[in-house]
Amino acid sequence: MRRTKDGKGIQALAILFFLLVVAFIVLPLASLFIKMEWGGLQGYLSAPLVVDALRLSFLTSAVSTLIVVITGTPVAYVNARFEYPAKDAIDTMIDLPVVIPPAVAGLALLMAFGRRGVLGQHLNALGIDLAFTTMAVIMAQVFVSSPFFIRQARTSFEDVDRAYEHAARTLGASPLKTFMYVTVPIAMNGLVSGAILSWARALGEFGATIMFAGNFEGRTQTMPLAIYTAMQGDIDASILLSIILVAISFIVIVAVKMLTRRGLIIAQD
Partner 1 sequence: MLRIRVTRALRDFTLDVDIESDNGTVVLMGNNGSGKTTVLNMVAGIARPDAGVIKVKEKTFFDSEAGIDVPIEDRNVGYVFQNYALFPHMSVYDNVAFGPRMRGAPPGEVEERVKHELEALGMWGLRDAKASRLSGGQKQKVALARCLAARPSLLLMDEPLSALDAETQAWTRSCIKQHIRDGHMPAIIVTHSLADAIELGDMVFIMDRGRVAASGRADEMLKNGSHTFINSFFR
Partner 2 sequence: GGPSATPAATPKADLTVFAAASLSGAFNETKAAYEASHPNVNIIYNFDGTQSLRTQVEQGAYADVFASASASHMNALKGEGYMNNSTVANFANNKLAVIVPKDNPAKIGSLHDLANPGVKIVMGTKDVPVGSYTLQILDKMANNSSYGPDYRSKVMANVISQETTVNYVVAKVALGEADAGFVYVSDVPAEYRDKVSVVAIPDSLNVVAVYPIGVLKESKHPEEAQKFIDFVRSDEGKAILAKYGFTPV
Least distance in angstroms from the C-beta of 95 to partner 1:
24
CA angle 136, 131, 111 (to 5 degrees): 110
The stretches of the chain forming alpha helices (DSSP H) are 5-35, 41-46, 48-81, 87-95, 102-113, 120-125, 134-158, 162-170, 175-178, 184-204, 207-212, 223-233, 235-263
What are φ and ψ of residue 189, in 5° steps?
-50, -50
Cβ atoms of 1 and 7 closer than 8 Å: yes
Which listed range, 43-51, 129-137, 213-221, 244-252, lies at the site for a copy of itself (CB under 8 A)? 244-252
Residue 44: alpha-carbon gap to chain centroid: 26
Q: Count residues near partner 2 (CB under 8 A).
A: 32
For residue 192, CA distances in Å to 111, 145, 264 come to 33, 14, 9
- Interface ranges with partner 1 (CB under 8 A): 2-4, 7, 161, 163-164, 166-174, 177, 181-182, 185-186, 188, 266-267, 269
Residue 82's binding partner out of partner 2, a copy of itself, partner 1, none, with CB under 5 to 8 Å set by partner kind? a copy of itself
Cα(113)–Cα(130) distance, rounded to whole angstroms? 7
Least distance in angstroms from the C-beta of 5 to partner 1:
9
DSSP state of 265: P
Is 246 a binding residue for partner 2 by CB under 8 A? The answer is no
Cβ atoms of 49 and 217 closer than 8 Å: yes
Is 230 a binding residue for partner 2 by CB under 8 A? The answer is yes
The one among 74, 115, 128, 218 contacting a copy of itself by CB under 8 A? 74
Q: CB nearer to partner 1: give 6 or 37.
A: 6
The one among 65, 183, 229, 242 contacting a copy of itself by CB under 8 A? 242
- 194-233: contacts with a copy of itself (CB under 8 A): 194, 196-197, 200-201, 203-204, 206-207, 223-224, 227-228, 231
Q: CB nearer to a copy of itself: give 101 or 218.
A: 101
Least distance in angstroms from the C-beta of 229 to partner 2:
5
The one among 56, 64, 190, 221 contacting a copy of itself by CB under 8 A? 190
Cα(188)–Cα(260) distance, rounded to whole angstroms? 9
Residue 44's binding partner out of a copy of itself, partner 1, partner 2, none, with CB under 5 to 8 Å set by partner kind? none
Residue 27: other Cβ atoms inside 10 A? 10
The one among 54, 56, 69, 110 contacting partner 2 by CB under 8 A? 110
What's the Rg (C-alpha) of the chain? 22
User: Which positions lie near partner 2, rule CB under 8 A?
Assistant: 103, 107, 110-111, 114-117, 120, 124, 131-132, 210-211, 213-217, 219-220, 225, 228-237
